[in-house]
């Protein structure tokens, strides 16, 4: 296609932030008609490199060439004018506006005295037909599913003439069916000559979709490989510098129910009912996974269980004791442990030291007191033992915890919670934002805790994580449990449909979007 970018080359890109070298002499290139993956752990420099290409950051060194001509983009507007678009992990859409209004928002043509919204809608319908993007230009964005909102972002980029599109973790919040639909759209774009950069940390996705894979680690490019025939262990080794251990998941042999949730109801932050009579049972020696698209009640469920959101009805029984009216410390004393979704808000205090964070809930424990005073020697000994046992990398016990990496913060929180030998563990998004090495360690610890008889409730938006760890999987949709399944009795596709609110045997939902464009 004429006017399309044929090749982008980034040579020796350097980007520094205070105390951090985010990109260190990185080379990267993209050709028209290909998908080139940027693979790496969180913090490896993937998004920083692409934000430099998109004009959001100015490089501190290196050069960018578009079709052989050196270019420097001082803003995203410059990059868009050159044909480069970027779709961020967190969508840039206004929920109270229609699809057409969102697409027109910020476009240069919108500076006209009167904008022809019919022409905007007509162009959206053309793009929808050309690339298989099922989007109704008249629908309010706030009423769309996450997958539909992502299509709007792609249409926004195409509407502005982007021939290169950067997708930052595009599958992070999609159901399996939405991932499949997205891949169809991306393949259509590539067939028309577009170049795509696919930023991800999911190995199976990049090998299934992409033509080439470049791996970043600690801000440096570790190499580029063709996706065809590349071995998973080679990519993992490039990402983390070593091979990962295989998960050892013993046979399922649960004991009696330890955590029994009955008829649980709770209100959301906007006054709506977020949980509608949730019934769940977690047994001793099992991991029950909770699958669902973000925003369907998982956060409220976790908050009710740990005591930071009031319960409007129902009970939470731990070894027969109802925790529903108890405060957090009372629940901990009864045998509950918590790995919170937002570790820096609910799991630790950033300005406190590593040692102080170990004792946030345990400072009244008789083991660490001398009469009315704290026994700092005993506290230091206990904290040192946990840091060593859980391989937490920290300069000293007095280091503020906010100075540690996300993975090491999460490992310290896990060490604190599991050192109490809990009866039940609520693990909410335990590996979100941590690197693959720390994720491997956290997974091993969760399985060890299960084998010691703990009832583990694992809430995760990562279906691969749920499948690797869970004995049973429950699906939550709009605050209701859609079903509970043995791990071996279900599959990704069935779970994906339930996550979208579709039960097996339900008739397919109508697609009013195409009709709206054809009328």
Q: Quote the DSSP letter at residue 346.
A: I
Q: Is the dihedral of CA 436, 437, 442, 443 positive or negative?
A: positive
- The closest alpha carbon to 227, from 92, 44, 35, belongs to 35
Tokens in use for 298? Answer: 């998982």
What pLDDT was estimated at residue 240?
78
One-character DSSP codes across 436-467: HHHHHHHHHHHHHHHHTT-EEEEE-S-HHHHH
Distance from C-alpha of 120 to C-alpha of 371, rounded to nearest angstrom: 74
- Map residue 204 onto helix, strand or coil: helix
Q: Is the dihedral of CA 118, 123, 128, 133 positive or negative?
A: negative
What pLDDT was estimated at residue 370?
74
- The closest alpha carbon to 36, from 238, 183, 229, 224, belongs to 224
Distance from C-alpha of 125 to C-alpha of 466, rounded to nearest angstrom: 38
**Secondary structure (H, E, C), 157-193:** HHHCCCCEEEEECCCCCCCHHHHHHHHHHHHHHHHCC
Contact predicate 26/49, CB 8 Å: yes
CA distances from 270 to 153, 266, 267, 273, 346 (A): 26, 12, 8, 9, 21
pLDDT block averages, 10 residues each, the chain of length 519: 80 90 95 94 86 95 96 93 89 90 75 75 90 88 85 91 92 79 91 93 87 93 92 85 65 90 92 93 96 89 91 94 89 91 86 90 71 78 92 90 86 92 93 79 92 95 88 94 90 85 69 51
What pLDDT was estimated at residue 517?
66
- The closest alpha carbon to 336, from 365, 308, 306, belongs to 306
DSSP β-ladder status, 455-459 and 286-291: parallel
What pLDDT was estimated at residue 89?
75
- C-alpha angle with apex 460: 42 to 411, nearest 5 degrees? 55
One-character DSSP codes across 378-431: HHHHHHHHHHHHTT---S-TTSBGGGS-HHHHHHHHHHHHHTT--SEEEEESTT
Distance from C-alpha of 198 to C-alpha of 171, rounded to nearest angstrom: 10
What pLDDT was estimated at residue 439?
84
Distance from C-alpha of 165 to C-alpha of 153, rounded to nearest angstrom: 10
Distance from C-alpha of 77 to C-alpha of 92, rounded to nearest angstrom: 15
What pLDDT was estimated at residue 514?
46
What pLDDT was estimated at residue 506?
67
Label residue 4 exposed, middle or buried (CB < 10 Å: 0-12, 13-18, 19+): middle
Distance from C-alpha of 451 to C-alpha of 431, rounded to nearest angstrom: 20
One-character DSSP codes across 306-329: HTSS--SEEEEEETTEE-TT--HH
Q: Is the dihedral of CA 401, 407, 413, 415 positive or negative?
A: negative
One-character DSSP codes across 107-152: -GGGGSSS--HHHHHHHHHHHHHHHT----TTSBGGGS-HHHHHHH
- Length reported for the chain: 519
- The closest alpha carbon to 442, from 463, 471, 412, belongs to 412
């Amino acid at each position: 296609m004429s006017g399309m970018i044929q090749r982008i080359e980034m040579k020796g890109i350097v980007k520094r932030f205070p105390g951090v070298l985010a990109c260190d002499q990185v080379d990267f290139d993209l050709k028209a008609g290909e998908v080139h993956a940027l693979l790496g752990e969180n913090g490896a420099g993937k998004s920083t490199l692409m934000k430099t290409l998109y004009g959001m950051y100015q490089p501190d060194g290196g050069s960018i060439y578009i079709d052989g001509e050196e270019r420097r983009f001082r803003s995203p507007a410059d990059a868009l004018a050159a044909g480069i678009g970027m779709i961020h992990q967190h969508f840039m859409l206004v929920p109270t506006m229609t699809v057409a209004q969102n697409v027109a928002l910020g476009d240069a043509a919108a500076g006209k005295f009167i904008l022809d919204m019919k022409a905007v809608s007509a162009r959206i319908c053309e793009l929808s037909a050309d690339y298989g993007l099922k989007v109704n230009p008249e629908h309010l964005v706030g009423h769309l599913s996450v997958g539909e909102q992502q299509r709007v972002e792609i249409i926004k980029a195409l509407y502005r003439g982007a021939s290169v599109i950067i997708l930052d973790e595009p599958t992070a919040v999609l159901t399996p069916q939405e991932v499949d639909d997205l891949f169809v759209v991306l393949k259509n774009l590539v067939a028309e000559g577009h170049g795509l950069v696919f930023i991800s940390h999911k190995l199976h996705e990049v090998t299934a979709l992409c033509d080439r894979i470049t791996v970043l680690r600690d801000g440096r490019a570790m190499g580029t490989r063709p996706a065809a025939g590349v071995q998973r262990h080679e990519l993992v080794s490039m990402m983390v510098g070593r091979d990962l251990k295989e998960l050892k998941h013993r046979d399922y042999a649960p004991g009696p129910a330890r955590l029994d949730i009955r008829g649980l109801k709770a209100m959301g932050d906007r006054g709506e009912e977020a949980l509608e009579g949730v019934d769940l049972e977690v047994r001793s020696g099992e991991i029950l996974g909770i699958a669902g698209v973000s925003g369907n009640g998982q956060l409220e469920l976790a908050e009710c269980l740990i005591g930071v959101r009031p319960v409007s009805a129902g009970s939470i029984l731990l070894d027969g004791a109802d925790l529903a009216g108890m405060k957090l410390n009372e629940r901990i004393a009864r045998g509950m442990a918590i790995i919170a979704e937002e570790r820096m808000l609910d799991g630790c205090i950033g300005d406190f030291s590593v040692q102080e964070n170990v004792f946030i809930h345990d400072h009244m424990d008789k083991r660490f007191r001398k009469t009315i005073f704290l026994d700092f020697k005993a506290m230091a000994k206990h904290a040192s033992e946990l840091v060593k046992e859980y391989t937490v990398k920290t300069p000293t016990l007095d280091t503020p915890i906010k100075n540690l990496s996300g993975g090491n913060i999460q490992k310290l929180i896990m060490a604190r919670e599991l050192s109490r030998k809990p009866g039940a563990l609520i693990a909410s998004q335990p590996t979100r934002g941590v690197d693959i090495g720390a994720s491997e360690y956290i997974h091993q610890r969760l399985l060890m805790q299960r084998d010691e008889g703990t009832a583990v409730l694992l809430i995760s938006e990562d279906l691969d994580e749920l499948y690797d760890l869970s004995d049973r999987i429950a699906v939550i949709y709009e605050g209701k449990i859609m079903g509970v399944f043995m791990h071996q009795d279900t599959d990704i596709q069935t779970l994906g449909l339930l996550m979208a609110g579709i039960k097996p045997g339900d008739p397919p939902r109508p697609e009013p979007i195409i009709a709206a464009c054809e009328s």
